[in-house]
Amino acid sequence: MRMLAAALLLALLVLQGRLWFGDGSIPSGWRLSREVAEQQAENAALEERNRALAADVADLKSGLEAVEERARRELGMIGEAERFYQVVEQDAR
């Protein structure tokens, strides 16, 4: 009977060791869950960025208004019938 109890105790210790320290252990599962949540958050942000880029592409393909807006904003261009005034502030010394 003592041998059976010792064998069962040994088996229990081995299984507990694998549960807490082996491959596929509980802490490993927790770590993987955190990594999955982080990756899902990153994927959501990238999907939002892709939607915004797709909307920009659609705007640029649909007409000249988006092209003009982008040229004004990014390149500082002005139209033919427009005037550009640049106000330069003096340093407060």
Q: Say what the pLDDT of residue 44 is.
A: 97
Q: Say what the pLDDT of residue 93 is.
A: 66
Q: Say what the pLDDT of residue 43 is.
A: 98
In a domain, 58, yes or no: yes
For 84, the 3-state DSSP assignment is coil
In a domain, 73, yes or no: yes
Positions of the chain with pLDDT under 70: 93
In a domain, 93, yes or no: no
In a domain, 64, yes or no: yes
Query: Can you give the residue range of the structural domain that contains 41?
Result: 24-77
DSSP 13-41: HHHHHHHHHSTT-HHHHHHHHHHHHHHHH
Domain count of the fold of the chain: 1
In a domain, 69, yes or no: yes
Nearest to 14 by CA among 22, 5, 24, 2: 22
Q: Say what the pLDDT of residue 46 is.
A: 98
In a domain, 70, yes or no: yes
Q: Say what the pLDDT of residue 39 is.
A: 98
In a domain, 8, yes or no: no
The residue type found at 89 is: E
In a domain, 67, yes or no: yes
58 touches 66 (CB < 8 A) = no
